[in-house]
């Protein structure tokens, strides 16, 4: 990989499952690719990896094969529709959670030696507030929390934001209001969340997109396609395009924080800290 290449790293998370987080990750990546940006998705749901399944892609190797030394990172990257590239994760394995120091070093080296050059890395995290979710969020330059208008979604998003801000120093979080009826409902959903965070937390939230509920999303999922591919002018697709336009305006930190290997080093450091704190 070009050692001088700066890359934007975005962690997409949400606390609760079922809020459409992976759809946001995939369609954001596709919308960025449509605008000439090289977008790479890291499937970071290490227990139930599903990005490749959602697109009907055949995966021969994944991140575990890189860690075992069987292949290089470039060998596991799969190319999906609309210029989206994906690093598939291990499903049903604890291998990433329990890396030894040599494997940590190997992971950093694998990313630094990657031959592909990308403009954006989108980390599609698992649902919930596990240590791995926190590690990815802390290491990323930007965090997007996806919420929908359900009490459990708002409660879980608040729990995630509270954990990140109070215990891990993440004080700026971007919010996507997903599956809302219109922009006003998205703004009201954001207001519900900020009423609680403003009262109890020292954190700055920013509403960066409202993605409307769209029946075409369900149709696309059933066909294992992206809505931005099948229905490019649908309301949700236009919402993803607007989000991509906004993402392109976000600054990339100066060195070293803008390098991909720095993100991986931060991720590894976070995992070591968590293991030390838990007494492992």
Q: What is the mean pLDDT of residues 116-141?
A: 88
Q: What is the mean pLDDT of residues 264-272?
A: 75
- Give the range of the structural domain holding residue 249, as residue numbers without chain letter: 8-277
Report pTM.
0.91
CB atoms within 10 A of CB 99: 18
Q: What is the mean pLDDT of residues 240-256?
A: 87
Flag whether pLDDT at 171 surpasses 90.
yes
Asked if the structure places residue 69 within a domain, the reply is: yes
Identify the CA nearest to 171 among candidates 205, 140, 131.
205
pLDDT for position 161: 97
Task: Read off the CATH number of the domain in which 271 is found.
Answer: 3.40.50.300
d(CA 141, CA 253): 8
Flag whether pLDDT at 115 surpasses 90.
no
Evaluated on CA atoms 181, 184, 187, 188, the torsion sign reads negative
Flag whether pLDDT at 255 surpasses 60.
no
Confidence of residue 131 (pLDDT cuts 50, 70, 90): confident
Confidence of residue 174 (pLDDT cuts 50, 70, 90): very high
Any residues with CB less than 8 A from the CB of 58 and at least 6 apart, and which?
Answer: none
* Better-scored residue on pLDDT, 192 or 49: 192
DSSP string, 99-150: --HHHHHHHHHHHHT-----SEEEEEEPSS--HHHHHHHHHSSEEEEEE-SS
* Better-scored residue on pLDDT, 274 or 44: 44
Flag whether pLDDT at 135 surpasses 70.
yes
Flag whether pLDDT at 251 surpasses 70.
yes
Flag whether pLDDT at 205 surpasses 80.
yes
Asked if the structure places residue 249 within a domain, the reply is: yes
CB atoms within 10 A of CB 196: 15
Asked if the structure places residue 30 within a domain, the reply is: yes
Number of domains the chain contains: 1
Any residues with CB less than 8 A from the CB of 86 and at least 6 apart, and which?
Answer: 40, 41, 42, 43, 51, 52, 55, 57, 77, 78, 79, 80
Asked if the structure places residue 1 within a domain, the reply is: no
* Better-scored residue on pLDDT, 269 or 53: 53
Asked if the structure places residue 192 within a domain, the reply is: yes
pLDDT for position 32: 98
Flag whether pLDDT at 45 surpasses 90.
no
pLDDT for position 64: 81
Percentage of the chain lying above the pLDDT 90 cut? 59
* Better-scored residue on pLDDT, 275 or 64: 64
Identify the CA nearest to 119 among candidates 224, 39, 65, 55.
39
Asked if the structure places residue 2 within a domain, the reply is: no
Asked if the structure places residue 170 within a domain, the reply is: yes
Asked if the structure places residue 3 within a domain, the reply is: no
Which range among 135-139, 160-164, 221-225, 272-276 shows the weakest confidence by mean pLDDT?
Answer: 272-276
Confidence of residue 111 (pLDDT cuts 50, 70, 90): confident
> What angle, rounded to 10 degrees, do the helices at 260-277 and 101-112 form?
160
C-alpha distances (whole Å) from 267 to each of 9, 136, 141, 264, 275 are 12, 6, 12, 5, 13
Confidence of residue 241 (pLDDT cuts 50, 70, 90): very high
Flag whether pLDDT at 192 surpasses 60.
yes
Show the DSSP H helices in 113-251 as ranges.
131-139, 151-168, 183-200, 215-222, 227-230, 235-247
Mean pLDDT over all residues of the chain? 88
């Amino acid at each position: 990989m070009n050692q001088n290449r700066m890359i934007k790293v975005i962690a997409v998370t949400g606390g609760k499952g079922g809020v459409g987080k992976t759809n946001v990750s995939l369609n954001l990546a596709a919308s960025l690719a449509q605008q000439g940006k090289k977008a790479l998705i890291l499937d970071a749901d290490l227990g139930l990896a599903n990005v490749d399944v959602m697109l009907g892609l055949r995966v021969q190797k994944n991140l575990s094969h890189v860690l075992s030394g069987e292949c290089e990172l470039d060998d596991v990257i799969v190319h999906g529709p609309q210029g989206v590239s994906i690093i598939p994760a291990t499903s049903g394995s604890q291998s990433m959670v329990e890396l030894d120091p040599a494997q940590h070093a190997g992971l950093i080296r694998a990313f630094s030696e990657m031959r592909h050059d990308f403009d954006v890395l989108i980390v599609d995290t698992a649902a919930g507030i596990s240590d791995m979710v926190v590690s990815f969020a802390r290491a990323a330059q930007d965090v997007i929390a996806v919420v929908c208008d359900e009490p459990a979604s708002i409660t879980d998003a608040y729990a995630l934001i509270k954990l990140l801000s109070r215990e891990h120093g993440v004080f700026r979080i971007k919010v996507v209001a997903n599956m809302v009826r219109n922009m006003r409902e998205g703004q009201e959903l954001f207001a519900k969340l900020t009423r609680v965070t403003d009262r109890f937390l020292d954190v700055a939230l920013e509403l960066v997109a409202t993605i409307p509920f769209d029946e075409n999303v369900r149709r696309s999922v059933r066909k294992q396609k992206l809505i931005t591919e099948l229905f490019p002018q649908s309301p949700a697709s236009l919402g993803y395009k607007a989000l991509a336009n906004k993402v392109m305006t976000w600054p990339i930190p100066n060195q070293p924080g803008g390098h991909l290997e720095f993100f991986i080093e931060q991720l590894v450091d976070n995992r070591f800290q968590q293991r030390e704190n838990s007494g492992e």
